[in-house]
């Protein structure tokens, strides 16, 4: 499992083999079965999580039981509830596995230790935060200005291949459209 993470680090950071070894020594490995929760609404997010294999989703449920997916986290991505993790407050989100998923996790103390020891990690993390903020802002703008068709096209670009890995009702939830609308969009694109 750590081999995937090591490859990710080698491709995205200039860390040395010794520095990468620090990650392995502090990592907690876990396999999460399909439909198993990593975090539930009301719990505190206590780990930064890297997805080595599989896929997680982050979502929130409304009082009527509707699920609103905020993020898909496939291989080579990070996942947590940042507000809960950073502030030690109960999460308002759920994170569960859409497939059997292998993750590496670090406690806040261990990740802070790595931050102190590895300046390149801090730089990489800041870049990830900036990229996530950009994508979040783009998604909000898209939600208030783009058509359902445009949002679907953006989804296909942002999450290549995921359309084949998750049920359509989850894609519809992520896009903020009904399943029927998504089916209509897909059908119209096939005809083109």
Predicted pLDDT at 130: 95
Predicted pLDDT at 160: 87
φ, ψ dihedrals at 42, nearest 5°:
100, -20
How do residues 158-172 score in pLDDT, each as one tens digit? 888 899 999 999 999
Predicted pLDDT at 53: 97
Predicted pLDDT at 1: 80
Percent of the chain having pLDDT more than 70? 100
Instruction: Please state the pTM of the whole predicted model.
Output: 0.92
Residue 89 has pLDDT above 90, yes or no: yes
Residue 113 has pLDDT above 90, yes or no: yes
Per the structure block, which two tokens stand in for 15?
């860390």
Q: Which domains does the chain have, with CATH numbers?
A: 2-118 (2.60.120.10)
Percent of the chain having pLDDT more than 90? 92
Instruction: Tell the burial category of 106 from Cβ atoms under 10 Å away from its Cβ (0-12, 13-18, 19+).
Output: buried
Cα pseudo-dihedral 89, 94, 96, 98, rounded to 10: -150
Q: In angstroms, what CA-CA distances link 118 with 20, 47, 169? A: 10, 18, 41
Residue 191 has pLDDT above 90, yes or no: no
Q: Are 124 and 13 in contact (CB under 8 A)?
A: yes
Strand partners for 68: 60
From 51, 53, 55, select the one nearest 27 (Cα to Cα). 51
Coil, strand or helix: which one is 183? helix
Please state, in angstroms and rounded to a whole number, the distance separating the CA atoms of residues 176 and 93: 17
State the greatest distance between any 2 C-alpha atoms of the chain, in Å, as a whole number. 55
How do residues 125-150 score in pLDDT, each as one tens digit? 999 999 999 999 999 999 999 999 99
Confidence of residue 189 (pLDDT cuts 50, 70, 90): confident
Per the structure block, which two tokens stand in for 184?
């209509």
Bridge-based pairing of strands 37-39 and 28-32 is: unpaired
Give the DSSP H or E segment for 50.
strand 47-53
Predicted pLDDT at 14: 92
Residue 192 has pLDDT above 80, yes or no: no
Average pLDDT of the segment spanning 178-186: 94
């Amino acid at each position: 499992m750590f081999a995937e993470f090591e490859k990710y680090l080698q491709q995205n950071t200039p860390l040395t083999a010794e520095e990468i070894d620090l990650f392995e020594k502090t990592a907690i490995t876990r396999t999460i079965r399909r439909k198993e929760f990593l975090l539930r609404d009301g719990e505190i997010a206590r780990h930064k999580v890297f997805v080595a294999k599989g896929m997680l989703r982050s979502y929130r449920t409304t009082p009527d039981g509707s699920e609103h997916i905020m993020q898909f986290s496939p291989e080579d991505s990070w996942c947590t509830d940042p507000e809960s993790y950073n502030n030690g407050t109960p999460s308002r989100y759920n994170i569960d596995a859409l497939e059997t998923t292998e993750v590496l996790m670090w406690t806040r103390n261990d990740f802070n230790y790595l931050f102190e020891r590895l300046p390149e990690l801090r730089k990489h993390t800041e870049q990830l935060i900036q990229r996530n903020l950009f994508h979040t802002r783009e998604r909000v703008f898209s939600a208030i200005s783009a058509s359902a068709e445009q949002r679907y096209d953006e989804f296909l670009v942002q999450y290549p291949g995921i359309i084949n890995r998750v049920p359509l009702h989850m894609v519809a939830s992520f896009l903020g459209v009904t399943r029927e609308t998504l089916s209509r969009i897909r059908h119209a694109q096939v005809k083109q």
